[in-house]
Structure 1
Amino acid sequence: MHGPAGTDSHWRDGPWQKAGQRLTAHRPAAAGLTVLAALMLAVATGLVAGGGPVGAALAAGHQSLTFALFSGLGGAALGLLWGAAAVALGERAERAMMAPAIALTGLPLALVLPLAGGLLGPERGLAPMAVVTALIAAPAVAVIARDELRALLRREFLSAAQAAGLTGGRRLRRHILPNAVLPLAAAAWTALPRALMTESLASLLGLGLPEGVTGWGTAIGAAVRAGDAVALAGPALLLALTLWALHGVGDGMRLAFSTAAGGHQ
């Protein structure tokens, strides 16, 4: 038997199961998850087998996906902290902290990475480029996280919990955190396609991953300059397919998880 609404059972079952069902029922998200799983397996297999245009495209995918994962995780963490701190510090601090985030989301931030790559020069390392990519992804995550937290704090069950005399710590543990985890996870996911697209664009221009590290963007740029359609097809198709899958899963997460957050208390 499930516990009452707003208890620790939120961490184990109920809304979590419903959110998962909504996510897998969303066709683009289900297809995206399938594509990403198949891609991970193909990249792992390609690293072992190697050889040929397909093996080269899969090896480049390993570099791009690894970079996007680590820089995306950094951007997601920074964005979540940014949005959560803005909400926690009150309305005046929120306005001051979120104004630059909102302004930055309207700018073509993807162009910042190739600019940074040009300034750092050919000896640029992976770590500085990953930090810049994380900073590029963070503002959009912060805005979405702030919106999700604000919507959650306006829900009636939190007012009822406060009226019932629950302390701030108990409200946070029993109501806010269980209800916030899923929508914030959906917000964090948006950093991954942003990081991959930013790195690929910069590498396409020769200003992304360092020399000796070949990602999809690097492979596409080299194939275009060489006029090699065969070498171009693999990385271009895999990059487009991965971005489509990431966006499909992200859309499904926002739909499923925001519904779940609104449905349990």
Structure 2
Amino acid sequence: MIGGDVERVIYGWTGKLAVLAKGKIDEALDQAGFNLIGVPLSFGRFRSQSESGERVGRVTIKRKMGKHQFETGGEIAFNSLDFDGQFSQGDGQIFKVQPSDISKTQVAENRTETFISDSWTLTDALTLESTLTGEWSSIKQTGEAGKTRSFFYPKPRMKAAWKPDPNWTYRIDIERAVGQLDFGAFADSASVGDGNQNSGNPELRPEQTWSVLLGVERRWDKRGVLNASWVQEEIEDQLSLVPHHREVLLWEISRARAAGDIIFP
């Protein structure tokens, strides 16, 4: 992994550039034997090789103007995975490969994000922070289950804090967050000890969460503090493992948008 950042003040604006690049190579062998009463001796084996990489560049500029502090910027990221896996079963001497559409695949994502935010001190007791972010991404997968898909997600956020006196603070935070996909979920894996092959899912979408937080804080000088909060979340395209035919685990595409139905790959 290698990275760095540089920060400069230009015409009253504070600018920052940050870059990061990292990569990883993995090789794995997972195997197990089964010797059950009344059942012939059997073995499971899963071999895999993968190479993943991430490159990110981010630019931000900010400036304080009276009671406002403005900040804007953007980020460009490229993520990739090259995966080759093989699940097989046999008697310990001869193994038979179990076919899968995603035993060998390459996944690449190009993601661009821009944002603008304003932190506004309305009074000595009341502050308001608002941010609007837009995220564009394109995911390309090759192999038997290859396809290309594009997404756009607006990600607004609003935070307000009211401090009527030094001992009490009230907060509200409303945000839409978009998670980052685990590229390993696009490819096969195996739970050899359970005799299961886990199939990747090329239809995965990033998980999105709307959250609302209401909080209150009470302080007693420097001796103690009490925080209480209430959080409500609504999750779309939630990712999880779901069983299929009792033998194969498939990654859930998403929770269907209508009537809470579940779509299986």
TM score, norm. by length of structure 1: 0.23
Name the structure with the higher strand share.
Answer: 2
Which structure: larger Rg?
2
Higher RCO (CA < 8 A, seq sep 6+): 1
